A = this chain, B = another copy of it.
């Protein structure tokens, strides 16, 4: 069933049907009725592929993330799909599980113009792919990734401020002996969090012990990392009274390590995470954490992208989203 069939059935010209369907020209009431009836009779639906070819667009946006299974990216994805769909775009999900081969094929996807634009919440393993993406000319926006060039705007949480909020909170609770547990800082965000921790402690004249700043070297399950690091911390003769973790998953791992060693949280040690994934409120005790507004970051990302696609090219190169400290039950005052 093509538009041609509808036109024939309705006894009007092809273009009239098109105009009617697109509202691109006024159509007489009777003609309109005839067309409507024909469409109904033939159960006609316009073909998007043809429309896209003609309009030179795909009505699809790409979303590039490492892993949907990671609640952080899942929430981001929801933000992205919600606004994209609202604007009439479908979103093509590309989750690579950090496999180089899939990175490659995602880049091909955009090079072949299968998408009108792309939200990238991913740091490539293969550096050279950035270049191919750039030269494809497809508009992109980075989310949770710091700027890599001056082509694409970037939306990230203010990592420094987030860590400071956590630390200020712990200090206000009377803590001075504070540790830091981190997964391998393989992206800039994690580096910034660690630096912010160090800098705050130094600035405030708080004790800064090497044995309290535990940074994992090898990439593996982050809850396990937290668990290992938590156990390690427990082995020190002098323990900190609070720890901040580089992410909620690490925090949850540490929580498990503490609880399973009979160390009570928050009575014996306070814990604060980073991200505020759903999990944070589900564990016991529920986790006090620095919330990254992931959904909003996703939203903002696509909104920029949509603006760009509409020719408005004036979004800021770097947007810092304000993190929020979410107080739950894993912290307690001292003295």
Chain A residues in the interface with B (C-beta under 8 A): 43, 45-50, 52-53, 58-60, 63, 67-69, 71, 74-75, 77-78, 81-82, 85, 90-95, 97, 102, 105, 109, 111-114, 135-136, 223, 249, 252-253, 255-256, 259-260, 278-279, 281-284, 286
Contacts and interface: CB of A to CB of B under 8 A. Distances in A.
Contacts of A92: 60, 90-93
A113 B47 contact: yes
- Tell me whether chain A's interface is mostly helix, strand or loop, or mixed: helix
Nearest to A105: B85
A43 B135 contact: yes
A112 B81 contact: no
Contact of A71 (B71, B94, B109): B71
Give the interface centre of A68, A109, A260 by most chain B CB atoms within 10 Å: A68
The 3 A-B pairs of least Cβ separation, nearest first, read A93-B93, A68-B74, A90-B92
A58 B68 contact: no
A93 B81 CA distance: 8
B252 A282 contact: yes
Contacts of A260: 284
Contact of A78 (B43, B47, B68, B281): B68
B85 A102 contact: yes
A113 B52 contact: no
